[in-house]
């Protein structure tokens, strides 16, 4: 379907649905949909490539923080996912209890898509990585963090580094994980490098990290 060695131009369009699985919190406010600004710009590029993009992610109906920007594409649809996880033992226990519901909600979203884009590390990204092959052979994975193991990494992060290469193999239209960051940079060179005044959230401020 796609290759990091030949990234599609903005004008190229797949007449399919893409499901994006992410832990990034989205915000509905003032008739617009907001999310973290660098993430928003990436999703805008995917929205130009697919007929419809389904955002399987947490969503709150409230004013967004200042580092968020509004989506401008109109072919986006949020399929709200539960917010779960945390660093404490109680948070982990709550996550384990919610796992069946999280799985059901995510499966409901992915079964509507022709391709799946999972964004890791994160609880939803990990779950999406494990479940996506049940629904499609077209999987794009992004690991937004240090790929080299670190002594302070959480066990869940180490586990995701282990699982992702097993799933994201260079066959059946699947991007190799190790090249996904390079492909993403190629897309960003062709995409918007900033947000218009209309797209900025109240109190918007540019951030350097993702």
SS3 59: strand
* Percent share of the chain, pLDDT over 70: 69
Q: Going from the N-terminus, what domains does the chain have, and what CATH number goes with each?
A: 17-199 (3.40.50)
pLDDT tens track for 52-85: 999 999 999 999 999 999 999 999 999 999 987 6
> Tokens representing 142?
């992004």
Determine what percent of the chain is predicted with pLDDT higher than 90: 46
CA distances from residue 84 to 70, 91, 125, 161, 198 in whole angstroms, order as listed: 24, 8, 12, 20, 32
pLDDT number for residue 1: 42
Helix (H, G, I), strand (E, B) or coil at 8: coil
205's CB contacts (< 8 A; 6+ apart) are 66, 67
- Residue 204 DSSP SS3: coil
More confident residue, 157 or 104: 104
DSSP for 14-55 reads EEEEEEEE--PPEEEETTEEEEEHHHHHHHHHHHHHEEEEEE
Q: 145-176: per-residue pLDDT in tens?
A: 777 766 677 777 888 888 888 776 543 333 44
Strand ranges, E, within 37-103: 50-57, 59-60, 68-70, 76-80
In this prediction the pTM is 0.73
């Amino acid at each position: 379907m796609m290759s990091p060695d030949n990234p599609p131009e903005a004008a190229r369009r797949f007449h399919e649905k893409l499901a994006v699985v992410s832990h990034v919190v989205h915000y509905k406010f003032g008739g617009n949909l907001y999310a973290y600004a660098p993430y928003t710009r990436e999703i805008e590029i995917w929205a130009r490539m697919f007929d419809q993009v389904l955002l399987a992610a947490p969503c709150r109906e409230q004013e967004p923080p200042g580092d968020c920007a509004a989506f401008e594409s109109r072919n986006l649809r949020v399929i709200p996912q539960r917010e779960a996880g945390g660093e404490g033992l109680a948070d982990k226990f709550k996550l384990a209890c919610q796992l069946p519901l999280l799985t059901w909600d995510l499966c409901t979203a992915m079964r509507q898509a022709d391709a799946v884009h999972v964004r890791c590390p994160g609880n939803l990204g990990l779950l999406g990585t494990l479940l996506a092959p049940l629904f499609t052979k077209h999987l794009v994975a992004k690991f937004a963090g240090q790929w080299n193991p670190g002594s302070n990494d959480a066990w869940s992060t180490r586990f995701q580094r282990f699982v992702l290469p097993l799933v994201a193999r260079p066959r059946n239209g699947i991007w190799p994980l190790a090249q996904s960051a390079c492909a993403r940079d190629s897309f960003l060179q062709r995409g918007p490098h900033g947000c218009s005044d209309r797209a900025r959230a109240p109190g918007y401020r540019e951030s350097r990290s993702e």
